[in-house]
Structures are given as C-alpha cells and as structure tokens.
C-alpha cells in the first residue's frame, strides 16, 4: 500500500501553454497542507536557507537565534571567532535551550530541568547527575551541530542536511549580487540592532513573491507615493526600462535603474561610495552606480539593496501553510556619512517599519489574495503568471554583470516563472519547459 497520501504531480499545479504564452498556477500551492509538509522537507530541511549577517555576531560568545524552516537554530560566534550553528533543542525532553533573540553567553541552560550546554554544544551540566547510570553517555548528548554553514561575503547560510548541494551550486548567479551588496560600500555593511517582526495569514511563497513584485507598487502603495511627493503611478513607471531577472536556482531580481535621485552623485553620475572603491571590478562599479534591486534568494530572504525605501534584509519564516512570520532587519553602510545613514534609515522605516506606509498595505492585500484562493472553481482557481511571456529579452547588457537565465520587463512575471520552475524541480523532480 502507498504510504504517502500525496500523489500529485506538477501538472496538478502548473499549466503551461507555450504557444499561447500562458503560465497558470493553481492557487492550491498556497493552501495545501500536504504540499507545505513536502516543502518543509525538500526545500527547508534538505536545501540551504539564509540565516543571518555576520555583523549580528560581533564578538566571541555572541549568539543569535533563528529558524531553518520549522527548526529552531542558535548561531554562535565561538572563542576562536568561528560561526557555528546548533539546533536549539534540549537533548533531554526537547525544550528550546535558548529563548532570547540574541545575546552573549558561554553557556545555554535549558529552562525546563536545567541541563546546561557550552556554546560549542557540549553537555556540561546535569542537575543531580547521580540519578543516571554510571556510564551514562553525556558525551553524545550535546546540542546537534548543523552540518553545513557558510559565510558568503558576510551573509550566513546553513543547511540541516549533509547531503545538500555545495553552497556555490546553490547560490549560483545570485552570489554575484550578494558580492555587489557587500563590497560596494567602503567598510562593508552592518545590520542594525533590533528586528521588526510581523505575522501574516498568508503562505510563505506569497510573502516572498510580494517582495519582488514591481507591478503592484503604484497601486498598493499609491498613498505612500503621494505622500512622498510623487504623483500616483509616476514614481514607478510601469513602462520604465526596469527589469525582472530570473537568475536560476529559484533566485530572482526586481531590478530598477536609478533614474531618480537617491544618492549624492557627482557630475559623472558616480555615487560617493564608488569613488575610491577598489573592491569591485570595473563592470561591477559601472552597474553599482546605475542600479538598485530587490534580490530574492530562494527560499527565504529578500535583500532590498539601497533602493529608496531600503536597505533592508527581509527573512521569510514559514510557520504553517497559511501563516508566515517576517523578520525585517535594517542595514547600513558602516562608514557612510551620518546624513546618508540617517536618510536611508528614515526611508526604510517610513516604508517597511511597523508604522511605515508600505508594509501594512502589503499585508492587507496579501490577505485578500489568500481569501480569493478559497475559490475551488475549476477555471477560477488559477493565478495568472503570463505577463511578459512574449517579450523575454535575450541580449540585455545586464548579462555582463549576471548571467540571468531569463530577462523580462520589470513588471513581467519572468522572475516568478523561474521561481516556480525551480520549485517544481525541487518538489516534484520535474523539469518544467517554459
Ligand atoms: S528539557 Fe531540557 S533539561 Fe529537561
Ligand atoms: Fe509592496
């Protein structure tokens, strides 16, 4: 007898008609709890996820807690300044051994019965140890160390699976944009203390999509654009030369040309931070002066790179099929002039912050979408992701910066089609021809 009740295939979820230029997604992908379990296993447990930025762990014994999917994790900066990842679960009866978001400690004492672990994970203390047999093997009862952890230009990623692909293979072309974010400011970037956390009654993929959605901005955020002095629909020109890139491996970019004034630039259009920048090569410098982007890294992080509003790292944490937590971290260039920092932080808070003018509107509209997905009508249950199927650009000059697999207009669904193509491959091991 078939053990798993889940016998669906990709055809149940995605309908592609290349001739007609159609790409349709069954909205069950946002509602199906079996699918959610499968995603948790294949995407979050077996793959790589973003965890933190190195500036969140500054000195030895600093720790920072987060999640890989449903699994609580503690990141620790050890005495010898390495960053390690431990599963935040007591080996006695399973309680979280660390309840804080961050701090500095050499030990974690479980709040339940007091078992105590060093910040390397070793079990170092059991209250009333005599109650256990003489050769009780405490050596093997340390916190479990996560098998894969990589610090890539300051961005820390990890995997629960020793069989996960090599990191370079996972990050692919998205690595080039991470490099650009990390190196374009002299002195690098720094994540500020504090997190804005909010919950949304939406599926995690919808929260991810919304963060790289160019098309919605003039409508959902009309009041914001009016308030900051732009006519509705004008601030983001739907017919601008902005791009939607699919980078492969599920990673996508909402890329904007910097045709509005955000930074101090000189008469040649060079921003202050690129003037004496020897970290980047000429091609990187050229593009760093021209573009700003939202980089969506599969499956759980979107980096809003000094757009205005920006710069923000948004981490998506799936909790259940229809509930997602979002963590927003604000970052700034470490050595920027004070006025620059102040202005960028204000811009981020004004839009993304809990009292900002952007985020609450997004949360509201995503809830409406989730409500629409209750419709089970055979025709009416599909979402349309066909925008731009007739105009994927092949030879754009952006290819000198990143070797994008597909390039569309900023408002096109190009990135999403790539995202779901990758999703289908990970979940169903099927190659979608789009
Ligand atoms: S659950 Fe941690 S000491 Fe009992
Ligand atoms: Fe939005």
For the stretch 34-89, pLDDT in tens is 999 999 999 999 999 999 999 999 999 999 999 999 999 999 999 999 999 999 99
Reported in sequence order, the residue ranges of 154-250 that DSSP labels E, i.e. its strands, are 155-159, 189-191, 196-200, 243-248
Q: What is the pLDDT of residue 272?
A: 82
What average pLDDT does the structure give for the chain?
Answer: 92
Give the highest mean pLDDT range of 7-16, 178-187, 340-349: 178-187
Output the residue whose Cα is nearest ligand 1's atom 4: 113
- Quote the pLDDT of residue 347: 84
Report the alpha-carbon distance of residue 409 to residue 398 in Å, rounded. 12
- Among residues of the chain, what percentage have pLDDT more than 90? 75
Q: Which atom of ligand 1 is nearest to the CA of 110?
A: 2
287 neighbors 404 (Cβ within 8 angstroms):
no
pLDDT at 233 over 60: no
Residues with Cβ within 6 A of ligand 1?
Answer: 90, 92-95, 110, 112-115
The Cα 73–Cα 54 span in angstroms is: 15
Radius of gyration of the chain (CA): 23
Atom of ligand 1 nearest to the CA of 114: 3
Higher pLDDT, 10 or 419: 419
Instruction: For the chain, give the percent of residues with pLDDT over 70.
Output: 94
Mean pLDDT value across residues 151-176: 98
Q: How far is the CA of 376 from the centre of ligand 2 (A)?
A: 27
Which tens digits make up the pLDDT trace of 246-297? 999 999 999 998 755 456 667 777 788 888 899 999 999 999 988 989 999 9
**105 C-alpha to ligand 1 centroid (Å):** 19
pLDDT > 80? residue 239: no
Note the ligand closest to the C-alpha atom of 356: 2
Answer whether the bond into residue 6 is a cis peptide, omega within 30°. no
| pLDDT higher than 50, residue 420 | yes
Domains observed in the chain: 50-159 (2.102.10.10), 168-428 (3.90.380.10)
- The predicted structure's pLDDT at residue 263: 60
- Mean pLDDT value of segment 117-131: 97
Ligand closest to the CA atom of residue 357: 2
Model pLDDT, residue 229: 60
Reported as a single tens digit per residue, the pLDDT across 3-20 is 555 678 899 999 999 999
User: Average pLDDT, stretch 334-344?
Assistant: 87
By most ligand atoms within 8 Å of CB, the mutation choice from 72, 88, 96, 112 for ligand 1 is 112
Measured from the Cα of 115, ligand 1's closest atom is 3
pLDDT of residue 356: 86
- In the block, residue with structure tokens 């960028």: 344
Q: Which of 206, 147, 204, 212 is nearest to 177 (CA)?
A: 212
Arithmetic mean of pLDDT, 160-183: 98
**Per-residue model confidence as pLDDT tens digits over 46-57:** 999 999 999 999
Closest ligand (CA of 294): 2
Q: Spell out the residues 6+ positions from residue 388 whose beta carbon is closer than 8 angstroms to its own.
A: 244, 408, 409, 411, 412, 413, 414
Among protein residues, the one with the nearest Cα to ligand 1's atom 3 is 113
User: What is the residue with the minimal CA distance to atom 1 of ligand 1?
Assistant: 93
175 neighbors 163 (Cβ within 8 angstroms): no
Region 106-113 average pLDDT = 98
Instruction: Locate the ligand 1 atom nearest the alpha carbon of residue 93 and give its number.
Output: 1
Pairing between strand 291-297 and 301-305? antiparallel
Which helix (H) or strand (E) segment holds residue 99: the answer is: none
Q: Which residues contact 406 (CB under 8 A, 6 or more apart)?
A: 245, 246, 392, 414, 415, 417, 418
Is 50 exceeded by the pLDDT of residue 426? yes
Place 232 in a pLDDT band, splitting at 50, 70 and 90.
very low
Does the pLDDT value for residue 155 go beyond 90? yes
pLDDT of residue 2: 46
Residue 404 has pLDDT above 70, yes or no: yes
Cα 301–chain centre separation: 0
- Nearest ligand for residue 360 CA: 2
Return the exposure string of 144-179: e unless at least 16 CB atoms fall within 10 Å of the residue's CB, then b.
eebebbbbbebbbbbbbbeebeebeebbbbbbebbb
What is the helix (H) or strand (E) element at residue 373, kind and residue range? none
Q: ∠ at Cα 258 (255, 263), nearest 5°?
A: 125
pLDDT in tens, 201-212: 999 999 999 999
Distance from Cα 218 to the centre of ligand 2, integer Å:
9
Report the residue among 72, 87, 92 best suited for mutation to probe ligand 1: largest number of ligand atoms under 8 A from its CB: 92
Give me ligand 2 centre to Cα 64, in Å: 28
**For residue 95, which atom of ligand 1 is closest to its CA?**
1
User: Which pLDDT score, from 0 to 100, does residue 142 have?
Assistant: 98
Here the tokens at position 14 are 């995605």
């Amino acid at each position: 007898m078939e053990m798993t009740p889940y016998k669906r295939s990709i055809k149940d979820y995605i309908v592609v008609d290349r001739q007609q230029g159609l790409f349709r997604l069954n909205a069950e992908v946002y509602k199906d709890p079996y699918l959610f379990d499968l995603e948790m296993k294949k995407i979050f447990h077996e793959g790589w996820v973003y965890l933190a930025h190195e500036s969140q762990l500054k000195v030895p014994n600093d720790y920072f807690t987060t999640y890989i999917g449903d699994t609580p994790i503690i990141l620790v900066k050890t005495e010898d300044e390495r960053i390690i990842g431990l599963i935040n679960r007591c080996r006695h009866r399973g309680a979280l051994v660390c309840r804080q978001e961050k701090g500095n400690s050499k030990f974690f004492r479980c709040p339940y019965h007091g078992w105590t672990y060093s910040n390397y994970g070793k079990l170092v203390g059991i209250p009333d140890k005599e109650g256990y047999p003489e050769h009780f093997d405490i050596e093997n009862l340390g916190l479990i160390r996560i098998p894969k952890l990589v610090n890539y230009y300051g961005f820390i990623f990890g995997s629960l699976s020793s069989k996960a692909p090599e990191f370079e293979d996972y990050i692919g072309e998205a690595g080039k944009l991470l490099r650009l974010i990390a190196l374009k400011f002299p002195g690098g970037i720094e994540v500020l203390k504090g997190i804005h956390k909010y919950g949304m009654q939406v599926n995690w993929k919808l929260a991810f999509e919304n963060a790289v959605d160019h098309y919605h901005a003039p409508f959902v955020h009309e009041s914001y654009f009016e308030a900051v002095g732009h006519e509705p629909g004008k601030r983001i020109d739907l017919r601008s030369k902005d791009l939607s890139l699919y980078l492969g491996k599920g990673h996508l970019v909402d890329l904007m040309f910097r045709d509005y004034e955000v930074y101090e630039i000189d008469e040649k259009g060079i921003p202050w931070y690129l003037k004496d920048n020897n970290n980047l090569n000429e091609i990187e410098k050229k593009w760093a002066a021209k573009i700003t982007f939202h980089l969506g890294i599969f499956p759980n992080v979107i980096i809003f790179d000094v757009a205005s509003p920006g710069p923000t790292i948004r981490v998506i944490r799936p909790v259940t099929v229809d509930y997602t937590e979002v963590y927003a971290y604000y970052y700034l260039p470490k050595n920027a002039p004070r006025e620059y920092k102040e202005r960028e932080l204000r811009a981020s808070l004004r839009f993304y912050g809990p009292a900002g003018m952007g985020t609450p509107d997004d949360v509201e509209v995503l809830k409406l979408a989730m409500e629409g997905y209750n419709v089970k009508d055979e025709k009416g249950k599909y979402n349309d992701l066909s925008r731009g199927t007739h105009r994927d650009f092949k030879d754009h000059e952006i290819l000198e910066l990143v070797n994008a697999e597909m390039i569309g207009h900023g408002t096109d669904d190009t990135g999403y089609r790539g995202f779901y193509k990758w999703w289908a491959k990970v979940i169903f091991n099927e190659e979608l021809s789009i």
